[in-house]
């Protein structure tokens, strides 16, 4: 009797072990998520839009992961064995610009692709703001006046466009998100700029607020030609996390001038 019990117990153990082995084998059968690859091309350009002889050394990083690589001399890059998912891809090189491609899907076996993009040399000269003041001008014959924050921009280099910023934080850098900014249509030894007070109020900045005015220059030959999430305009890219527009290749920041909004 005891012998029969031992036999049945042994058979039961074998059946349970076999079931566990079968279960483990099923979990690794084909049909599991497989890694994928992503490739792209980056072209480096100078301040006049001329292609550089080599586009090597541009760093490509899949943000918040361990995946990264660098471009070859032709600007081509590829990252393999990537776990499927949506990735924010950071493209940058010291002395040039930085751009992010948001939510790029890598869906498993096969090759995803980032459209060709160009990154320009970042300007190296910090401009100077001067004569910053609150001014009033007549808008019409009825004597209606417009208050503005005005000033002059100088000390830049020919080629890149001057950019003017209004920020609520004095430490915001040219490549960050800004409360307000705009580009000047012309550049010379001295360029005028003006932010109307009405524009500041419309942006939610009330009277009595201290704002910080600064400037930079940017290389607008930097351009991402687009991908599945939508095109990017020349010189800028859109950050969907804070709904801001960011410069790809800005230069150093000017002096910062604090002004109280009237």
Q: 166 in a domain, yes or no?
A: yes
Same domain as 75, residue 146: no
Q: Choose the final residue of a domain: 92, 120, 148.
A: 120
Same domain as 132, residue 116: no
- Can you give the pLDDT at residue 248? 92
- Can you give the pLDDT at residue 1? 47
Q: 80 in a domain, yes or no?
A: yes
Q: 226 in a domain, yes or no?
A: no
- Can you give the pLDDT at residue 238? 87
CATH number of the structural domain spanning residue 175: 2.60.40
| Dihedral sign computed on CA atoms, order 72, 74, 80, 85 | positive
Q: 8 in a domain, yes or no?
A: no
Among 87, 154, 163, CA closest to 122: 163
Same domain as 146, residue 92: no
In angstroms, the CA 98 to CA 198 distance is: 33
Q: Choose the final residue of a domain: 58, 90, 120.
A: 120
Among 67, 71, 78, 87, CA closest to 113: 78
H or E stretch covering 216:
strand 210-218
Same domain as 152, residue 111: no
Q: 102 in a domain, yes or no?
A: yes
- Can you give the pLDDT at residue 206? 95
- Can you give the pLDDT at residue 80? 96
Same domain as 164, residue 192: yes
Q: 134 in a domain, yes or no?
A: yes
Same domain as 149, residue 84: no
Same domain as 159, residue 256: yes
Q: 3 in a domain, yes or no?
A: no
- Can you give the pLDDT at residue 143? 56
Same domain as 153, residue 110: no
CATH number of the structural domain spanning residue 82: 2.60.40.1120
Same domain as 249, residue 136: yes
Same domain as 136, residue 115: no
Cα-based torsion angle of the residue sequence 254, 255, 258, 262 in order, rounded to the nearest 10 degrees:
-50
Per-residue pLDDT of the chain (262 residues; tens, 9 = 90+): 444 434 334 433 433 334 333 333 333 334 567 999 999 999 999 888 888 999 999 999 999 999 999 999 999 999 999 999 999 999 999 999 999 988 999 988 888 888 788 899 999 999 999 999 999 876 655 656 788 888 888 877 656 778 999 999 999 999 999 999 988 655 455 578 889 899 999 999 999 999 999 999 998 888 766 544 444 457 888 899 989 999 999 999 999 999 999 9
Looking at the 3D structure of the chain, how many domains does it have? 2
Same domain as 139, residue 116: no
Model pLDDT for residues 10-26, shown as the tens digit of each residue: 433 433 334 333 333 33
155 burial class (0-12, 13-18, 19+ CB within 10 angstroms)? middle
Same domain as 141, residue 67: no
Q: 30 in a domain, yes or no?
A: no
Domain that holds residue 45: 36-120
Q: Choose the final residue of a domain: 120, 144, 177.
A: 120
> Against a cut of 0.85, is the pTM above it?
no
Do 124 and 249 contact (CB within 8 A), yes or no? no
């Amino acid at each position: 009797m005891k012998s029969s019990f031992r036999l049945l117990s042994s058979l039961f153990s074998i059946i349970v072990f076999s079931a566990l082995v079968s279960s483990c084998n099923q979990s690794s059968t084909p049909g599991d998520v497989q890694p994928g690859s992503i490739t792209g091309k980056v072209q480096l350009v100078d301040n006049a839009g001329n292609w550089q002889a080599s586009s090597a050394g541009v760093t490509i990083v899949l943000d918040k992961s361990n995946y990264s690589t660098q471009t070859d001399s032709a600007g081509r890059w590829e990252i393999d064995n990537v776990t499927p998912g949506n990735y924010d891809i950071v493209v940058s090189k010291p002395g040039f610009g930085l751009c992010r491609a948001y939510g790029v899907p890598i869906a498993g076996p096969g090759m995803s692709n980032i459209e060709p993009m160009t990154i320009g040399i970042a300007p190296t000269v910090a401009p100077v703001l001067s004569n910053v003041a609150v001014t009033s001008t007549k808008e019409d014959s009825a004597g209606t006046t417009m208050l503005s924050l005005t000033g002059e921009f100088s000390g830049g280099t020919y080629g890149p466009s001057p950019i003017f910023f209004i920020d609520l934080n004095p430490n915001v850098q040219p490549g960050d998100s800004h409360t307000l900014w705009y580009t000047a249509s012309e550049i010379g030894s001295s360029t005028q700029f003006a932010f109307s007070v009405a524009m500041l109020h419309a942006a939610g900045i009330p009277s009595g607020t201290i704002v910080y005015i600064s400037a930079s220059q940017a290389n607008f030959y930097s351009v991402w030609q687009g991908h599945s999430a939508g095109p990017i305009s020349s010189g800028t890219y859109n950050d969907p996390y804070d709904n801001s527009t960011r410069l790809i290749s800005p230069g150093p920041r000017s002096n910062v001038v604090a002004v109280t909004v009237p």
